[in-house]
């Protein structure tokens, strides 16, 4: 999806005159892409109609920044589609809330329950987990294992087969223990679909949840709308969590889930681990849908981990797009200071996976230090040039000698430099955003 949408916008950006034909072509391509990404047909059609209404071609002809107007319209429209207009119920620390999780088996409920509990526990809450999945063998063990690891109290049973009874008992117990966030995990499968929805209805009736969260796998496909709607019809779904956003799926189904449940997405799951869980943010999500997310997320990461006083300079350099060896040197310094490169550079395609593969951080750090030693033997002219050709063979020999390394290693470093420079150059012209501002458009 991202690919074709950004391609569509790119094509549009390249066209000198934005007239109705170009606008239509662009919209058609985006429409196709959204459909491919499992957004419901009706939603796509609505978006198309709205954009045509918003983008007044006469205004465009008046010579304002045409591309910006259309891009912004598409972006805003997608953001609007993710906003059901009212926030979900938000539990309050210190007051008892019951939160029930629903969703099909395999969608990530049990994992997400623990992440949700852990997220709040870190903020000083007293969460507890109740396993009301008696259908799947091992369901209780899985929850127990997760809960134990996170030191979160849990409740369940190997003997009792009635999920309603367990849910009721669990919620009762944790209310007595003054837990402020009682999380009920449910089953996602039944011999009969109707029986599953009836069970959800009964568990909900017995536990009176303040919030029901629908958990959806981002790679679910076209089924997203119907699935979300089916749950909504049996229980009062009030929020959505989209899981497995670390995979290939761009999560276009989230738009359908929001439309079907009239509820906002509140978190996304980005991995199997307990802390791979993020508060949902509409703008970066839409940026990602549009194939711009890598940059937007990257910016947020920079704001998060690069020392405040160094940010303006780094962003300035980024927007200029010239990646000198000196910039690489400074970034390596940052990386070594900050620990694993994963933090910042994993946001960029190709950065972390090749320079610092997961699980091999130690080796990669040694490599970075080696590169820095070699760069210490470079002249200012070499460090400040963004032309790799300047560093010819005789210069490489000198650098190798000066740093006591082999010329082969200098060549390897220059290859790395060229690779990073290529990625860096994609950021040329990037608007420098303030924290929290969207950066891609």
Question: Applying CB under 6 A, which part among 106-114, 148-156, 259-267, 291-299 lies near ligand GDP?
Answer: 106-114
Please say which residue, 105 or 145, places its beta carbon nearer to ligand GDP: 105
Q: Is 253 in the site for ligand GDP (CB under 6 A)?
A: no
Residue 270 binds which entry of Mg ion, ligand GDP, none, with Cβ cut-offs from 5 to 8 Å by kind? Answer: ligand GDP
Which residues sit opposite 183 in a β-bridge? 99, 129
Rounded to a whole number, what is the distance in angstroms from the first to the last CA of the chain?
17
The span of 39-47, 104-112, 198-206, 348-356 binding Mg ion (CB under 5 A) equals 104-112
HSE-up (13 A, CA, CB side) for residue 338: 18
Residue 345 three-state SS: helix
Least distance from C-beta 185 to Mg ion, angstroms? 6
Beta carbon of residue 217, minimum distance to ligand GDP (angstroms, whole number): 8
Q: 301-323 in b/e burial notation, b at 16+ Cβ within 10 A?
A: bbbeebeeeebeebbebbebeeb
For residue 214, the cross-strand partners are 102, 240
Query: Helix 293-305 crosses helix 311-320 at what angle (to 10 degrees)?
Result: 150
Q: What's the min distance (Å) between Cβ of 98 and Mg ion?
A: 18
For ligand GDP, the closer of residues 60 and 215 by Cβ is: 215
Q: CB under 6 A: which stretch of 173-181, 268-276, 313-321, 339-347 binds ligand GDP? A: 268-276
Answer yes or no whether residue 106 interacts with ligand GDP by CB under 6 A: yes
CA distance 236 to 255: 18
Answer yes or no whether residue 269 interacts with ligand GDP by CB under 6 A: yes
**146 contacts Mg ion (rule: CB under 5 A):** no
Which one, of 92, 157, 161, lies nearest residue 124 by Cα?
92
107 binds Mg ion (CB under 5 A): no
Of the residues 2, 188, 252, 264, which one makes contact with ligand GDP according to CB under 6 A = 188
Q: From the list 244, 283, 288, 405, which residue makes contact with ligand GDP (rule: CB under 6 A)?
A: 244
- Residue 386 interacting partner from ligand GDP, Mg ion, none (CB closer than 5 to 8 Å by kind): none
Q: Which of residues 214-243 bind ligand GDP (CB under 6 A)?
A: 243
Applying CB under 5 A, among 37, 71, 88, 110 the residue interacting with Mg ion is 110
**From CA 241, how far away is CA 250, in angstroms rounded?**
14
Using the rule CB under 6 A, which residue among 2, 84, 108, 253 binds ligand GDP?
Answer: 108
Comparison of 281 and 416: residue with beta carbon closer to ligand GDP = 281
- Encoded tokens for 290: 């549009």
Give just the sign of the alpha carbon dihedral 308, 313, 316, 321: negative
Q: Which region among 27-35, 101-109, 333-341, 387-395 touches Mg ion (by CB under 5 A)?
A: 101-109
Distances (CA, A) of 280 to 61, 270, 291, 306: 37, 11, 17, 22
186 binds ligand GDP (CB under 6 A): no
Among 37, 40, 88, 110, which residue sits at the site for ligand GDP (rule: CB under 6 A)?
A: 110
Q: Which of these segments, 32-40, 109-117, 339-347, 366-374, binds Mg ion (CB under 5 A)? A: 109-117
Residues 239 and 101: their CA atoms lie apart, in Å, by 10
Helix (H), strand (E) at residue 129: strand 127-132
- Provide the 3-class DSSP secondary structure of residue 362: helix
Say how far apart CA 382 and CA 386 lie, in whole Å.
8
Angle of CA points 25, 31, 35, to nearest 5°: 150
Binding mask 377-416 for Mg ion (x = CB under 5 A): ----------------------------------------
Residue 306's H or E segment, with its range, is none
Which lies closer to ligand GDP via its Cβ, residue 87 or residue 106? 106
From ligand GDP, Mg ion, none, which one binds at residue 244 (CB under 5 to 8 Å depending on kind)?
Answer: ligand GDP
Identify the CA nearest to 342 among candidates 360, 329, 325.
Answer: 360
Check binding of 275 to ligand GDP (CB under 6 A): no
Which part of the chain contacts ligand GDP (CB under 6 A), choosing from 56-64, 66-74, 98-106, 229-237?
98-106
Nearer to Mg ion, 30 or 196 (CB): 196
Q: Which partner from the list Mg ion, ligand GDP, none does 103 bind, CB cut-off 5 to 8 Å by kind?
A: ligand GDP
User: Residue 131: beta bridge partners?
Assistant: 185
Using the structure block, give the residue that is written with the tokens 């010239």: 322
Quick check: 222 and 191 in contact, CB under 8 A? no
- Tokens at 27, concatenated: 């919209």
φ and ψ at residue 99, rounded to 5 degrees: -120, 125
Residues that bind ligand GDP (CB under 6 A): 103, 105-111, 188, 243-244, 246-247, 269-272
Residues that bind Mg ion (CB under 5 A): 109-110
């Amino acid at each position: 999806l991202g690919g074709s949408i950004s391609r569509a916008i790119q094509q549009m950006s390249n066209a000198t005159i934005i007239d109705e034909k170009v606008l239509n072509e662009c919209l058609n391509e985006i429409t196709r892409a959204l459909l491919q990404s499992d957004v419901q047909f009706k939603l796509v059609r609505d978006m198309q109609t709205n954009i045509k209404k918003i983008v007044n071609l006469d205004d465009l002809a008046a010579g304002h920044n045409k591309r910006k107007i259309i891009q912004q319209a598409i972006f805003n429209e997608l953001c609007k589609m993710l906003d059901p207009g009212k926030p979900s119920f938000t539990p309050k620390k210190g007051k008892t809330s019951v939160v029930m999780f629903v969703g099909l088996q395999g969608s990530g409920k049990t994992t997400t329950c623990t992440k949700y509990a852990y997220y709040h526990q870190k903020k000083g809450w007293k969460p507890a987990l109740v396993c009301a999945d008696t259908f799947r063998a091992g369901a209780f063990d899985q929850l127990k294992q997760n809960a134990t690891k996170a030191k979160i109290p849990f409740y369940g049973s190997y003997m009792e087969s009635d999920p309603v009874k367990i849910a009721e008992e669990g919620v009762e117990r944790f209310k007595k223990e003054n837990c402020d966030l009682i999380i009920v995990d449910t089953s996602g499968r039944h011999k009969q679909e109707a029986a599953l929805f009836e069970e959800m209805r009964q568990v909900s009736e017995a536990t009176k949840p303040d919030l029901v969260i629908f958990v959806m796998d981002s790679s679910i496909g076209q089924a997203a709308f119907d699935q979300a709607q089916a749950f909504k019809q049996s229980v009062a779904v009030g929020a959505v969590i989209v899981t497995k956003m670390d995979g290939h799926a761009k999560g276009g189904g989230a738009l359908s889930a929001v439309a079907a449940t009239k509820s906002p997405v509140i978190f996304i799951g980005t991995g199997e681990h307990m802390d791979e869980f993020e508060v949902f943010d509409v703008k970066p999500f839409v940026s990602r849908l549009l194939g711009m997310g890598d940059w937007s997320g990257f910016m947020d990461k920079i704001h998060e981990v690069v020392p405040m006083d160094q940010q303006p300079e780094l962003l300035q350099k980024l927007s200029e797009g010239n990646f000198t060896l000196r910039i690489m040197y400074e970034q390596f310094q940052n990386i070594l200071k900050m620990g694993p490169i994963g933090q910042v550079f994993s946001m960029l395609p190709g950065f972390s996976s090749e320079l610092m593969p997961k699980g091999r951080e130690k080796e990669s750090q040694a490599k970075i230090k080696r590169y820095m030693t070699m760069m210490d033997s470079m002249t200012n002219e070499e460090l400040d040039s963004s032309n790799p050709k300047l560093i010819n063979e005789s210069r490489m020999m000198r650098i190798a000698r000066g740093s006591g390394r082999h010329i082969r290693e200098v060549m390897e470093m220059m290859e790395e430099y060229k690779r990073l420079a290529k990625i860096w150059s994609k950021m040329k012209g990037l608007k420098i955003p303030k924290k929290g501002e969207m950066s891609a458009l």
